[in-house]
Amino acid sequence: MPSLGDLIFALGQWLRTTPLTELSLWIQKQPLSMLIDQNFWVIPIIQTIHILAIATTFGSVVMINLRIFQMAGRSRTMAQTTHRFLPWIWWGLLVLLITGIGMTVGEPVRELTNPCFWMKMVLIIVAASVSLWFQGSVRRNAPVWQLTSDGRLAMRTGAAGVILLWCVIMVLGRWIAYAPT
């Protein structure tokens, strides 16, 4: 039975046999990539903005989910809470996407041939899809869900799942730096 580490290592080895290697080497030779790479402070500054955007998006997800669990925000309705925090989730995600592209252009080999990077990308698509679907069902069903225990259970399971998913995404994001290469 191979361990998770073995699977990640194998994924990394396979990634390096794909055209992604050539693509990342090509990106590395482009003027923008060289500019980012040669200026010492560009990557730390992009990473700082990336982390601040995670704080914005994750903080907003937490605030909505605490409201679902009735552990915070009880002075407001579910609708008021989502109205306050949803835009911040999506604007944060936009900043994450832009800074993420910046880091990838600056260090293409480190990102594009990295197993943790691609696992993170897949989970982001999953998390964004689940969030969109969950948002929709909460909006449609919140008035009913809040009245039945089944509905509350469904909302709470979804909320806990979304938090867990974002935590795993942050784990993978940090482990890009430690992935075997």
Provide, rounded to whole angstroms, the least separation between the CB of residue 35 and another protein.
17
Contact flags string 132-151 toward another protein, x per CB under 8 A: --------------------
What's the rounded Cα separation, in Å, for the pair 154 and 145? 8
Closest CA to 102 of 35, 181, 55: 35
Question: Which one among 79, 101, 160, 167 touches another protein, defined by CB under 8 A?
Answer: 167
Contact flags string 76-105 toward another protein, x per CB under 8 A: x---x---x---------------------
| Residues contacting 88, CB < 8 A, separation 6+ | 56, 57, 59, 60
According to the binding rule CB under 8 A, does residue 170 interact with another protein? yes
Give the number of residues in contact with another protein, rule: CB under 8 A.
30
| Between 6 and 144, CB nearer to another protein | 6
Cβ-based neighbour number of residue 103 at 10 Å: 19
According to the binding rule CB under 8 A, does residue 47 interact with another protein? yes
Q: Please give the span between the terminal C-alpha atoms of the chain, in angstroms, as a whole number.
A: 22
- Tokens for 86, please give them: 């949803």
According to the binding rule CB under 8 A, does residue 7 interact with another protein? no
CB 108 within 8 A of CB 36: no
According to the binding rule CB under 8 A, does residue 59 interact with another protein? yes
